[in-house]
Amino acid sequence: MPAPTPINAAPPKLAGARVVVVGAARSGLALTRFLLSRQARVVLTDSRPSADLDPAVTELAREGATLELGGHDSGSFERADLVAVSPGVPLSIAPLAAARRRGVRVVAEVELASWFVKGIMIGITGSNGKTTTTALTAHLLSHAGLKATACGNIGTPLIDMVPRAAPDHYYVAELSSFQLEGIETLRPWIGVLLNLSPDHQDRYPSPQTYYQAKCRLFMNQGAADHAILNADDPEVRGLEPVIRARVSLFSGSADLPQGACLKDGGIVVRNRGREHRVLATGDLPLFGTHNIENAMAALLVADLCGVPMPKAAQGLRLFRGLPHRLERVRELQGVTWYNDSKATNVGATLKSLESFPGRRIVLILGGHDKGGDFKALAPLVRDRVAHLVLMGEARSTIDAQVGAIAPATQVATMEEAVRAARDAAPPGGVVLLAPACASFDLYSGYEARGDDFRRRVLALQD
């Protein structure tokens, strides 16, 4: 196995530098603490007022940060030596554009972190499945005795890894399109692109610009690096000729001579002329056809990191899925209830629907519309959905696009959605919360939405 590429580039001098941190959520707070520890002069700015932010923000003022809350001071941006941006902040906002015009360097948190983290970077992105694949990959490496941490968009900012960094530590980073927009030199030794489907169309002018942001994961890789691609996704497979890294493929439908695929009802990994049967798909502890793809991608990473496949198979059997991702909540009177609140775009909902054969699904859709094309759901709704329950801001939009395909009920709240789903569920059926929308019309995030659904389902009486 070739030596992995360290991810740290030559870092700039931070002591005394004027650095603006944009966004006072988890990544912004972590960035500010790190920069203060390096004696930078930090301005932490957020468009939201102090009352809407974590109390930890005001504590940073006592540690030396200057707070500019409730709006941005463009002068601070233009006087800065460096601007570091949290993933939730669009790079197109006016103060950032003005800073760039004056020659100020504007980067994402993960880019800045990559200058200082000493270790081995594994970057995982895709429209769907990246959180599960990130957690599973770190689990497989750790189970095999390697030092590995899941970080990035999964919850722990990469910048938090700097104090504990070690050259032999694997940093398995979930990377969103928002984060990848702001990278310059970040270079993962292994980059994984799981799939591409339209998402965040409220932020990107077209699906193609969103795809281009995702593909920045590979832009700094060279011949000593590795790219893992989904051979079944035409948009992803089409990148193979332009990627400079060594490409490994995974597929749930094709028989690949090299990579990961299915054979005789099981996952096999083929590498360097050898074939390893890892495990039967029926033994996979994760539910859903898309999780077979996620497992194959994680196994390819493990193989590249030197993990013996029998050890990887053992780790895979021990992995437990993450909440809100096709999470089985309960069975009640012959109907099984699933929480897939993390299905926040149309592509994710399609993956969910593919996991349930037969026309027996009551599908709960709706929330805050991110510009999704709900008409793409039509074929699977026609084939597999017995009833639609449409909720939230997007319910009328969804009804106009697919409501004529299956019986549909519009509701305003989760309480009403659960009640309507119970009434509509056929014997032996499935109730599936897979909203194809963000949650911000009614909830603080998809976790809160999924928790509410789970709580109400568990409260149902026989």
Please write the tens of the pLDDT for every residue from 229-268.
Answer: 999 999 999 999 999 999 999 999 999 999 999 999 999 9
HSE at residue 422, side-chain half, CA atoms within 13 A, is: 17
Q: What strand order describes the sheet that includes 385-391?
A: 327-332, 335-339, 430-433, 361-366, 385-391, 408-410
Q: What is the dihedral of CA 150, 265, 307, 254, to 10 degrees?
A: -80
Q: How far apart are CA 125 and CA 87, in angstroms?
A: 14
Please compute the mean of the pLDDT values over residues 409-438 and round it to a whole number: 97
User: Model-level pTM greater than 0.95?
Assistant: no
Would the pLDDT of 1 be above 60? no
Rg (CA), the chain: 23
Instruction: Say if CB 232 and CB 260 are below 8 A apart.
Output: no
pLDDT digits (tens, 9 = 90+) for 310-329: 999 999 999 988 999 999 99
Categorise residue 71: left if φ over 0, alpha if ψ from -120 to 50, beta otherwise. Answer: left
Angle at 148 between CA 142 and CA 150, to 5 degrees: 110
Asked if residue 5 has pLDDT above 70, the reply is: no
Query: pLDDT averaged over the chain?
Result: 95
- CA dist list (Å): 54 to 127, 159, 325, 360, 451: 29, 19, 27, 43, 21
Structure tokens at 152: 């990035």
Take residue 414 and report the two structure tokens written for it. Answer: 């989760």
For residue 424, give the nearest of 405, 412, 449, 407 by alpha carbon: 407
pLDDT at residue 405 greater than cutoff 80: yes
| 217 neighbors 191 (Cβ within 8 angstroms) | yes
**Sign of the CA dihedral running 29, 30, 31, 32:** positive
Shortest CA distance to 299 belongs to which of 288, 289, 286, 310? 310
CATH number at 112-318: 3.40.1190.10
Q: Say if residue 100's pLDDT is above 80.
A: yes
Which pLDDT score is estimated for 12? 83
Question: Which run of H or of E encompasses 352?
Answer: helix 346-354
Q: Sort strands 259-263 and 170-174 into parallel, antiparallel or unpaired.
A: unpaired
User: Percent helix, strand and coil across the chain, each rounded to 5?
Assistant: 35, 25, 40
Fold annotation for 327-458: Protein-Tyrosine Phosphatase; Chain A (3.90.190)
pLDDT for 224 equals 96
Q: Are 189 and 246 in contact (CB under 8 A)?
A: no
In DSSP terms, 438 is beta-bridged to 368
**Identity (one letter) of the amino acid at 149?**
T
Distances (CA, A) of 413 to 139, 395, 428, 452: 37, 11, 25, 10
Q: What's the mean pLDDT in 78-106?
A: 93
Give the pairing of strands 18-22 and 246-250: unpaired
- Taking residue 37's Cβ as centre, other Cβ atoms within 10 Å add up to 12
Of all residues in the chain, the percent with pLDDT exceeding 70 is: 98
Query: pLDDT confidence of 2, banded at 50, 70, 90?
Result: very low
Catalytic (active-site) positions: 130, 153, 200
What integer is the mean pLDDT of 149-158? 95
Q: What fold does the segment set 18-103 form as a domain? A: Rossmann fold (3.40.50)
What pLDDT is recorded for position 90?
A: 87
Whether pLDDT at 3 is above 60: no
Euclidean distance between CA atoms 15 and 327, whole angstroms: 47
d(CA 83, CA 2): 35
Strand bridging mode 190-193 / 120-125 = parallel
Q: Indicate the domain borders of the chain.
A: 18-103, 112-318, 327-458
Q: What amino acid is encoded at 228 in this protein? A: I
**Rounded CA separation 356/358 (Å):** 7
Residue bearing the bigger pLDDT, 191 or 287: 191
Percentage of residues of the chain with pLDDT beyond 90: 90
Q: Of residues 90 and 193, which shows the higher confidence score?
A: 193
Number of other residues whose CB lies within 10 A of the CB of residue 257: 10
SS3 84: strand
pLDDT tens for 329-374 read 999 999 999 999 999 999 999 999 999 988 899 999 999 999 889 9
Query: How confident is the model at residue 10, as a pLDDT?
Result: 62
67 pLDDT tier (thresholds 50, 70, 90): very high
Beta strands in 170-237 (DSSP E): 170-174, 190-193, 226-230
- Count CB-CB contacts under 10 A for residue 312: 26
DSSP letters of 193-230? E-------TTTSSSHHHHHHHHHGGGTT--TTSEEEEE
In tens, the pLDDT along 376-402 reads 999 999 999 999 999 999 999 999 999
Residue 6: pLDDT over 50: no
